[in-house]
């Protein structure tokens, strides 16, 4: 009986295997015949069926400032997908419940999500509201533990300092196959260096693309983009952006531009144009980098180079007298007028420079220097050619030099047009002992994998238009412009500034100059410290909204003095000391000079500083001071903040109502990585007051402008000379 049962069981099993064999054989011949009819290789068909691949993401090159701070980088982002295939182990089981949870985090319509998550015949869907979400939002969604929700990891370009040098750096967009491409600025001009190329991993996998164990993988590694190190300085650029942002809010100009450069090397440390934009959002009204792509009549900053040419040729005598007011050229009906029309009587040429006399410079170029020699110096200073700065879309100005009136007006900055970057390059000769340096913004390019230098830039001499002695004499005279002439608003406590003001007319659509109060380009080109300039700053503001008697130079002076002073202090350029007292002393012109407080009692020093009208913040739990900000020798005025650090545990102070500069000071002192948004004074801080803080911590501070701005009843009225200057076409 048992044997019979065994035979029956064996027979059933044999029949089952026979049926299965014929089914598989039939399936094979069916596939073979159908695929053969289409001319398909079965081996290749099998590979396509089971051979899977994944993309290995490559990273676009990172841009750094000169100190290694990131200014543009790829960061991970995530797109939310939902798996709908019920045959897949992990899929959406309850669309209604899943949509309800996701709608809150993604700020999406619940009903639309329900409809999307309920689609039939789809393996997976991508949620439109879940494209390129941040890592933080990804974590929030993961915490919901919704079955069937997954993420596709991507990269997006991120600019951590928002509007930071946006016209210089530019932005990217998705190009071929989703790879980012530069669309503006350095992102575009350096695209061949920055662009990445994704890699690929190939493996045998099942129907759900899960790797089959113990099979060999084929890997094509990704090629990451190369890293760019710029000459820009994050701190100086932030000073510049902040100052221009404040001027934009208060004066609403049509255009602004500013450049900060190192005159010894030609390195560009900061460059801004307004209107600006945030490359993270790409809401752009102005695509022009005015610093390099916008030639305009410079106004009286041009007189710097006319003066230098006359001194170099030995035809300038600062003590020689001339009659100011107007100057009649032969065969030309309309005289050349000084900006106040009436002049200052008989004055010396030095006084003429201080008062920005058009007559003085007309006589210099026509009677002493000569038109041909002056034209040669225009070329020597590079004012008739591009600088070839490594920033895209540089334009060249136009030197009008056909008729005598054009030759004369070019001498004081009218008629001919030049760009701000051309003026910066020319001015390096004044600041750098006669040697003119080519401006540049790309320091080096590094391969991030091999660490090898792909490209490097060194300072390059662009010419030597004048001697060292001439450069010094020009700086000496330009200092008197600031101390005794039209440049008084540009004085900076503790530092000797040399520079020249400019007020230029703007041609209208009809070819005639626009008239009206404030309908000019107001500018200043200055350097400091005067005897050995470490910084060269140019600022131009076009058509600010001002009403008489408000002065057009006000926004320019606000930007220049703020950026120059902050940058000099940041670079530890010591102001001129007025005495060697161990205590903070008050000087009529320069404010209070801070001594070295290291090792002193914090209670005693805090008391002394508060008596001088300073705001004092203490970081640390002990009584002995180990660091201070500002540094020893810095000059501060009543109402400024001094931060003292002691040893012991550090706790974050309450920064409510702190200024932008105060926040930078505490960040520098402790070594924080700060991000400052908005403008005005601090209203929120990411590290709460009283919480422990240490070097390397991230600090985010939000600034808001004050709700009300009270008028200053003690503001001094400007001298009549300066009032007259702004009423005229050119200073």
Beta strands (DSSP E) in 179-241 are 180-184, 199-204, 218-220, 227-230
Specify whether the CB–CB gap between 109 and 130 falls below 8 A.
Answer: no
Report residue 352 CA to chain centroid gap: 38
Instruction: Give 223's DSSP letter.
Output: B
Q: Look at the block and give the residue holding tokens 């520098």.
A: 668
Of the candidates 300, 324, 356, 362, the residue annotated as catalytic is 300
- The answer to whether residue 515 is catalytic is no
Distance, CA of 556 to CA of 710 (rounded, Å): 21
627 forms bridges with which residues in the sheet? 645
- Could you give the C-alpha distances from 60 to 124, 198, 459, in angstroms and in order? 29, 10, 28
CA atoms lying within 13 Å on the CB side of residue 19: 6
Closest CA to 543 of 562, 517, 525: 517
Distance, CA of 93 to CA of 613 (rounded, Å): 68
User: 320-345: buried (b, 16+ CB within 10 Å) or exposed (e) per residue?
Assistant: eebebbbbeeeeeeeebbbbbeebbe
**Separate counts of helices (H) and strands (E) for the chain:** 21, 32
- Could you give the C-alpha distances from 56 to 88, 197, 279, in angstroms and in order? 24, 9, 26
Closest CA to 349 of 370, 329, 322, 309: 322
Report residue 543 CA to chain centroid gap: 23
Residues in the chain: 731
Classify strands 70-83 and 63-64 as parallel, antiparallel or unpaired: antiparallel
Closest CA to 149 of 223, 94, 209: 94
Q: Supply the angle between the helices 420-431 and 468-484 in degrees, to the nearest 10.
A: 110
- Could you give the C-alpha distances from 522 to 91, 230, 325, 398, 730, in angstroms and in order? 65, 29, 22, 20, 9
Report residue 187 CA to chain centroid gap: 13
Beta strands (DSSP E) in 19-148 are 51-56, 63-64, 70-83, 124-126
Report residue 194 CA to chain centroid gap: 18
Closest CA to 55 of 224, 225, 220: 220
**Residues taking part in catalysis:** 300
């Amino acid at each position: 009986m048992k044997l019979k049962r065994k035979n029956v069981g064996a027979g059933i099993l044999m029949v089952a295997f026979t049926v299965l064999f014929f089914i598989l054989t039939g399936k094979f011949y069916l596939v073979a015949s159908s695929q053969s009819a289409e001319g398909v290789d079965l081996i290749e068909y099998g590979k396509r069926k089971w051979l899977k691949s994944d993309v290995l993401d490559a990273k676009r090159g990172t841009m750094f400032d000169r100190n290694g701070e990131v200014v543009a980088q790829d960061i991970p982002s995530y797109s939310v997908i939902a798996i709908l295939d019920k045959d897949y182990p992990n899929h959406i089981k309850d669309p209604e419940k899943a949509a309800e949870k996701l709608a809150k985090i993604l700020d999406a319509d619940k009903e639309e999500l329900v409809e999307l998550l309920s689609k039939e015949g789809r393996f997976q869907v991508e949620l439109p509201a879940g494209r390129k979400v941040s890592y933080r939002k990804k974590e929030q969604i993961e915490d919901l533990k919704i079955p069937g929700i997954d993420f596709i990891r991507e990269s997006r370009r991120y600019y951590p300092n928002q509007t930071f040098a946006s016209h210089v750096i530019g932005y990217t967009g998705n190009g071929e196959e989703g790879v980012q491409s530069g669309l503006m600025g350095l992102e575009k001009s350096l695209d061949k260096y920055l662009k990445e190329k994704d890699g690929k991993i190939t493996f045998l996998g099942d129907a759900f693309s899960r790797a089959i164990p113990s099979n060999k993988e084929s890997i094509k590694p990704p090629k990451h983009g190369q890293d760019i190190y710029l000459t820009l300085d994050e701190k100086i650029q932030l000073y510049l952006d902040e100052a221009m942002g404040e001027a934009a809010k208060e004066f609403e100009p049509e255009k602004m531009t500013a450049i900060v450069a190192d005159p010894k090397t030609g390195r560009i440390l900061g460059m801004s144009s307004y209107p600006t934009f945030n490359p993270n959002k790409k809401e752009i009204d102005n695509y022009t980098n005015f610093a390099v792509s916008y030639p305009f009549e410079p106004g009286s900053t041009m007189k710097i180079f006319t003066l230098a040419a006359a001194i170099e040729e030995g035809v300038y005598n600062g003590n020689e007298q001339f009659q100011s007011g107007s100057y009649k050229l032969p065969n030309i009906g309309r005289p050349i007028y000084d900006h106040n029309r009436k002049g200052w009587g008989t004055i010396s040429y030095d006084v003429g420079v201080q008062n920005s006399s058009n007559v003085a410079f007309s006589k210099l170029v026509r009677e002493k220097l000569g038109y041909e020699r002056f034209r040669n110096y225009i070329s020597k200073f590079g004012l008739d050619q591009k600088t070839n700065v490594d920033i895209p879309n540089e334009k060249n100005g136009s030197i009008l030099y056909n008729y005598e009136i054009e030759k004369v007006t070019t001498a004081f900055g009218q008629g001919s047009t030049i760009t701000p970057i051309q003026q910066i390059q020319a001015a390096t000769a004044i600041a750098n002992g006669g040697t003119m340096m080519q401006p540049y913004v790309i320091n080096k390019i590094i391969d991030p994998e091999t660490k090898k230098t792909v490209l490097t830039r060194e300072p390059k001499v662009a010419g030597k238009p004048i001697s060292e002695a001439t450069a010094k004499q020009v700086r000496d005279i330009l200092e008197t412009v600031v101390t005794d002439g039209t440049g008084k608003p540009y004085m900076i406590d503790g530092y000797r500034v040399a520079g020249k003001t400019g007020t230029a007319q703007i041609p209208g659509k009809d070819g005639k100059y626009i008239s009206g109060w404030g309908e000019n380009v107001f500018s200043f080109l200055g350097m400091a410290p005067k005897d050995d300039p470490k910084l060269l700053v140019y600022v131009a503001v076009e058509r600010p909204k001002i009403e008489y008697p408000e002065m057009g130079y006000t926004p320019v002076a606000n930007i220049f003095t703020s950026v120059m002073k902050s940058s000099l202090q940041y670079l530890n350029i010591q102001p001129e000391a007025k005495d060697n007292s161990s205590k903070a002393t008050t000087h009529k012109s320069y404010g209070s000079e801070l001594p070295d407080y290291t090792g002193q009692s914090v209670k005693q020093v805090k008391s002394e500083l508060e008596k001088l009208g300073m705001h004092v913040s203490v970081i640390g739990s002990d009584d002995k001071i180990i660091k201070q900000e500002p540094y020893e020798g810095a000059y501060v005025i009543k109402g400024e903040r001094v931060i003292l650090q002691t040893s012991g545990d550090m706790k974050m102070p309450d920064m409510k109502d702190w200024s932008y500069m105060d926040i930078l000071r505490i960040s520098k002192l402790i070594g924080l990585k700060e991000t400052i948004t908005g403008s005005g004074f601090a209203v929120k801080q990411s590290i709460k007051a009283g919480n422990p803080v240490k070097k390397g911590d991230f600090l985010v501070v939000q600034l808001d402008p004050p709700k009300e701005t009270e008028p200053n009843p003690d503001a001094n009225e400007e001298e009549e000379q300066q009032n007259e200057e702004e009423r005229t076409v050119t200073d």
